[in-house]
């Protein structure tokens, strides 16, 4: 399934969860705080800007934000909150689409780079970020760490979350470095109705991510376990990595 087919009208309508999940202040606040710091007063570009979860509060903090978005339904949701003059968006693939001008910060949040399903596309995404960056600019990627150590021997699936009315399940193809996330939502009171949302990903190890940056002419500046600067360790489930282009001579 193509990404623009996954992020359809239904997905766009159900994406925003104000005050909860990825929209919770404890999640969104530190993300925006750190991006404001990394932008250093310059322009920011969000790859896969979606419905504006991060872009809107970032712009409200005084950072000029532009975006790239493949899904028109997601962009339509954004347009109910901000017009084109406030947050300009180019419709297209984040690996190839071009936005006018240069930026101090390009960022990709919440594992979105893994939506590109081949290594070639992911490298192209890094190169596209580098094309948009001013000298000394930063490319910031938030990404989960593949949890293959938790995969039972000989098994291809792992439940990563189980809560009232919800089960999160990943199925792995370790040969091709692919994973499909399955999100099951159901009536916890015993009803028969259930919904499932599936999304394919290509998982990336941190060291592979660093090599992609090098191929695009960027170097790793920092890596933390979260947006507040927690230490990244072998037990960290995700990371926020900042890559930087060379400073002007």
> What tens digit of pLDDT does each residue of 202-215 get?
999 999 999 999 99
**pLDDT exceeds 80 at position 248:** no
Mean pLDDT of 2-6: 61
* pLDDT of the residue at 20: 80
> How does pLDDT run across 6-39, given as a tens digit for each residue?
666 777 777 778 888 888 899 999 999 999 999 9
Q: Identify whether residues 56 and 153 lie together within a single domain.
A: no
What is d(CA 39, CA 26) in angstroms, rounded to the nearest whole number?
A: 21
Q: Are 134 and 105 in contact (CB under 8 A)?
A: no
Measured in whole angstroms, the distance separating CA 25 from the mean position of its chain's CA atoms is: 18
Q: Identify whether residues 45 and 111 lie together within a single domain.
A: yes
Percentage of the chain exceeding pLDDT 90: 68
Q: Identify whether residues 40 and 87 lie together within a single domain.
A: yes
Q: Identify whether residues 74 and 196 lie together within a single domain.
A: no
Q: Identify whether residues 99 and 208 lie together within a single domain.
A: yes
* pLDDT of the residue at 12: 74
Q: Identify whether residues 9 and 78 lie together within a single domain.
A: yes
Q: Identify whether residues 196 and 218 lie together within a single domain.
A: no
Q: For residue 76, what are its two tokens?
A: 């339509």
Q: Identify whether residues 234 and 160 lie together within a single domain.
A: no
Mean pLDDT of 75-98: 96
Domain limits at 182?
148-201
* pLDDT of the residue at 6: 67
Indicate the number of domains in the chain.
2
* pLDDT of the residue at 158: 83
pLDDT tier for residue 150 given thresholds of 50, 70 and 90: confident
Domain final residue pick, 201, 216, 235: 201
Q: Identify whether residues 208 and 164 lie together within a single domain.
A: no
- Beta strand extents in 174-234 (DSSP E only): 178-186, 194-202, 219-224
Instruction: List the single range of 9-18, 52-61, 230-239 with lowest mean pLDDT.
Output: 9-18
222: helix, coil or strand? strand
**pLDDT exceeds 90 at position 1:** no
* pLDDT of the residue at 155: 84
Q: Identify whether residues 210 and 122 lie together within a single domain.
A: yes
Instruction: List the single range of 103-107, 117-121, 149-153, 206-210 with lowest mean pLDDT.
Output: 149-153
Residues ≥6 apart with Cβ < 8 Å to 35:
44, 54, 58, 63, 105, 107, 140
């Amino acid at each position: 399934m193509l990404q623009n087919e996954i992020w359809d009208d239904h997905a766009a309508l159900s994406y925003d969860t104000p005050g909860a999940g990825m929209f919770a202040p404890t999640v969104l606040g530190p993300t925006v705080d750190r991006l404001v710091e990394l932008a250093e007063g310059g322009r920011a570009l969000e790859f896969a800007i979606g419905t504006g979860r991060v872009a809107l509060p970032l712009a409200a903090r005084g950072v000029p934000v532009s975006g790239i978005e493949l899904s028109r339904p997601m962009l339509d949701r954004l347009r109910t909150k901000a017009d084109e003059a406030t947050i300009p968006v180019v419709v297209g693939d984040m690996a190839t689409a071009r936005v006018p001008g240069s930026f101090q910060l390009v960022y990709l949040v919440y594992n979105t780079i893994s939506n590109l399903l081949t290594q070639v596309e992911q490298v192209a995404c890094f190169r596209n970020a580098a094309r948009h960056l001013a000298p000394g600019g930063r490319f910031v990627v938030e990404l989960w760490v593949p949890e293959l150590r938790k995969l039972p021997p000989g098994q291809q699936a792992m439940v990563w979350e189980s809560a009232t009315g919800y089960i999160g399940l990943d199925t792995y193809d370790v040969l091709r470095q692919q994973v499909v996330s399955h999100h099951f939502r159901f009536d916890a009171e015993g009803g028969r109705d259930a919904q499932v949302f599936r999304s394919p990903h290509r998982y990336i190890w941190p060291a592979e991510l660093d090599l992609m940056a090098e191929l695009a002419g960027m170097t790793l500046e920092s890596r933390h376990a979260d947006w507040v600067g927690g230490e990244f360790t072998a037990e960290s489930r995700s990371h926020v990595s900042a890559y930087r282009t060379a400073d002007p001579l």
